[in-house]
Chain A
Amino acid sequence: MNNTTPARAAAAAAGIGTALLLQATLVAPVFGTVPVSLPAVVVAAVALVDGPAVGIAFGFAAGLVADLGSDHPAGILALCWLAVGLVAGTFAERRNLRRDAAAVAVICTAAAVAATALLALVHGATIGSAIRGALPCLLGDLLLAFGIVPLVRRMLRSDRLRPPRPVGLPVAAGGHRG
């Protein structure tokens, strides 16, 4: 977990803030009722490069800020985006950009459906709208992923933001770092 440097922490905070602002002022109005989520795509893209540990922490933090800035109960997006970071960091292939972008879109859509279903349960409504919106959401997330995944990959592999020890290489005690 010693991959955190001041520059990486600052970049993570800036990334969360920028994604939330763009989501509320640009992405959400343009996509209307389709629950396409730029912050979720950013979380998945970061987890693809830095692994599940960073993905879990980044997803939880971003989700909690989004929750507290909303009117639904806090913790719902934190839980869903935590899962996005975990799944994207664990199962990603990391070799083929198109496959990675597709994986990000599928994971984010599943998280959006889960979040919508959770909210529907809280409000006592049915989850029909969550399922109906899945396909358009997948297309929207795919569109965002093709732009965000290469951008995040390039940023996190720059000299200033590169982790002190390469992510994903076996350490002395065995296993993999995340």
Chain B
Amino acid sequence: MRRLTRRQRVSAIVLAVLAACFITLDLGGGGLSQAHSGVRGTLGALYRGTDAVLGPVRRWLEGVPAAGSNEARISDLERQNAVLRGRIAALRTDRRVTEAVAALQRSADGTDAAVVPARVIAFGPGQGFDWTVTLDVGTNDGVHGGQTVTDGDGLVGRVLHSDADTCVVLLAADPGSGVGARDVRTGEIGVASGRGTDGLLFVPLDPHADIRVGDQLITGPTKASSYVAGLTVGTVRSVRTSADGSLEAGVTPAADPTSVDFVGVIIDGRAADAARAPLQPGPGTRK
């Protein structure tokens, strides 16, 4: 064990106090918003470049657990067939992307707005306690802060910040996130708050509301929420009454926050004259 010199002790204390000052400053308001914006923009551009190189490796690694059961039995054959397995993984990825695009197109058909397809290129530096992802679209594609992000079937989150070519999305599962939601069966409205790996927690405005396991929640009501109305938030999996008599419902999110990959940002159709062509509502769909 090394002993700290007096100078080292003073340095550690000064830096710790400095860090505490930064936390206080950032919690108190937008004192560091410019610094956040600058560093995020720089890192976003670097994430984009790095993902172009490491993306295939990452997707292969993410596919490894699914192939785990076979690996034990045919380990020798797997070594010989590494190249073929890589191709299979690529085909699976292509099929998943195709299905995701189809879902996004259906989503675009069901709304008045255009949907910009995007891919997750990075997770928040502190994934596990900071539920954000970075997408490969930005203001050049018509994406701006506050816009809703969907995976085609359900709500993923909303855009927090947007730079030229990238944007940061706050996932609905983030503990700091709150979504205005409506129970499809009863029409009861309330707030669904993020609970990380535990999904969402729905608290209806009426403490005596009739909420049951299996009820589906959608975003809404229209114009009273920062999210586009009508997207599936999730399904109620448990209902309990707390000690003060208020009702709480555990919700399984419609879009799994830990495996988001291909998503769509719902933008105003008029802002969609961008480099990446958005998916427009198809002919014959409702307006």
Contact = CB atoms under 8 A, between A and B. Distances in A.
Interface string A121-138: 011110001100100010
Contacts of A64: 19, 22
Given A69-B40, A79-B23, A24 B4 contact: no
Interface stretch (B10-18, B68-76, B214-222): B10-18
Given A79-B16, A178-B4, A178-B8, A66 B126 contact: yes
A23 B124 CA distance: 9
A26 B130 CA distance: 16
B146 interface: no
B195 interface: yes
A133 B258 CA distance: 14
A176 interface: yes
B83 interface: no
Contact of A68 (B1, B39, B126): B39
Contacts of A144: none
B184 interface: no
A37 B126 contact: yes
Interface stretch (A5-13, A52-60, A152-160): A52-60
Contact of B62 (A29, A71, A72, A79): A29
A73 B23 contact: yes
Given A33-B127, A70-B132, A71-B124, A56 B8 contact: yes
B125 interface: yes
B57 interface: yes
Q: Is the interface of B mostly helix, strand, loop or mixed?
A: helix
Contact of B43 (A20, A51, A52, A56): A20
Given A60-B15, A73-B26, A90 B123 contact: no
Contacts of B42: 69
Interface string A15-35: 001001111111011111111
B286 interface: no
Interface in B30-57: 32, 35-36, 38-40, 42-43, 46-47, 50-51, 54-55, 57
Interface residue tally of chain B, by bracket? 35 or more
A1 B132 CA distance: 38
Contacts of B12: 52, 56, 82, 86
B20 A68 contact: no
A75 B24 CA distance: 9
Interface residues of A, number: 66
Nearest to B122: A24
Contacts of B91: none
B116 interface: no
A161 interface: no
Contacts of A1: 7
Contacts of B270: none
Given A53-B11, A71-B132, A129-B197, A32 B4 contact: no
A168 B54 CA distance: 38
Contact of A24 (B55, B134, B197): B134
Contact of A72 (B39, B46, B130): B130
Given A21-B47, A71-B160, A129-B196, A26 B58 contact: yes
A24 B32 CA distance: 22
B87 interface: no
Which among B18, B43, B46, B161 has the highest number of chain A CB atoms within 10 Å?
B43
17 contacts: A24-B122, A25-B55, A25-B121, A26-B61, A30-B58, A35-B126, A35-B127, A53-B5, A69-B36, A70-B124, A74-B22, A75-B19, A75-B21, A77-B125, A77-B126, A78-B19, A125-B196
Counting from the closest, the 7 A-B pairs by CB-CB distance are: A35-B128, A75-B22, A73-B26, A68-B39, A75-B23, A24-B122, A79-B19
